[in-house]
Amino acid sequence: MRKQIAAANWKMNLTYQQGEKLLGDILKADNKLADHQQVIFGVPFPYLMMAGGAVTEENNYDVAAQNCYEKKSGAYTGEVSAEMLQSINVKYCIIGHSERREYFGETNQVLAEKLNRCLENSIIPIFCCGEPLNIREAGTQNHFVAAQLKQSLFHLSAEQVQSVIIAYEPIWAIGTGKTATTAQAQEIHAFLRSVLASQYSEEVADEVSILYGGSVKPNNAKELFGCPDVDGGLVGGASIVAADFITIIQSLK
Ligand code: PEP
């Protein structure tokens, strides 16, 4: 049974002290998760060990890095490798967020390498895909996201792909307050699953959690997560407000 996941993406927000308090406030709510539910905090690199420590005693709460470098190691000043993340017990890593694609020029090919580095180090990638507004307006979003999966993911074995979490994030909905309708979200999530099914199999596609991201808020999370092919959310803005993220966790199926 695939997991239902609330993943927070703090991005480049909060000081260490603010992050520590936010985690404390969220964990104090004592939301007990079912076996098929998972909460992941995507925090800045310098906070990974603190956040990992904060969730150690919690069942199905974990932390994610927001990025890693595509090379194994070497003279890449300022970069962080998947092996480094593994060495401090990080289990998840966000890969290919649209902000990384846009501001740091990350291509589908580079992201394929990042996925490899994660999987070699037993780190579960949260692979982001999603179309910009002009593609949605042209009605070619399915073709666009299918190409993202094909170019970054399809070299993986069935076993590997089953461990990947996909986050569908329409760029026009990220941080804009505009959310995809439940019909739009369900339609493209079902499409993404069908793309996985035709490349791998129905069984494999059925195991992959596909999260929705793009202005998930306390007032729309339940409806979005209620869609049969929406397995939770990757949440930016609302994940750094304790009360909002608590409600979002409580909205998981
Ligand atoms: C994100 O950063 O992945 C995101 C979806 O942000 P927001 O929830 O703020 O739209």
Q: What is the mean pLDDT of the chain?
A: 97
Choose the catalytic residue: 70, 106, 131, 169: 169
Ligand 1 pocket test, pick from 169, 211, 225 with the greatest ligand atom count within 8 Å of Cβ, gives: 169
Q: Where are the domains of the chain?
A: 4-250
Residue 97: active-site member? yes
Instruction: Tell me the C-alpha distance between 185 and 180, whole Å.
Output: 6
Which ligand 1 atom lies nearest to the CA of residue 216? 8
Model confidence band, residue 159 (pLDDT cutoffs 50, 70, 90): very high
- pLDDT (tens digit per residue) in 165-211: 999 999 998 888 788 899 999 999 999 999 999 999 999 999 999 99
- Regarding the beta carbon of 174 and ligand 1, being less than 6 Å apart is answered yes
Alpha-helical (H) ranges within the chain are 16-28, 48-55, 82-87, 98-104, 108-120, 133-138, 141-153, 158-163, 182-199, 202-207, 221-225, 242-250
Phi, psi of 122 (to 5 degrees): 55, 35
- pLDDT (tens digit per residue) in 15-70: 999 999 999 999 999 899 999 999 999 999 999 999 999 999 899 999 999 999 99
Instruction: Tell me the C-alpha distance between 172 and 120, whole Å.
Output: 33
Can you name the residues that pair with 167 across neighbouring β-strands? 128, 211
Instruction: Tell me the C-alpha distance between 14 and 20, whole Å.
Output: 9
- pLDDT (tens digit per residue) in 131-156: 999 999 999 999 999 999 999 999 99
Q: Which CATH superfamily is domain 4-250 in?
A: Aldolase class I (3.20.20.70)
pLDDT reported for residue 188:
97
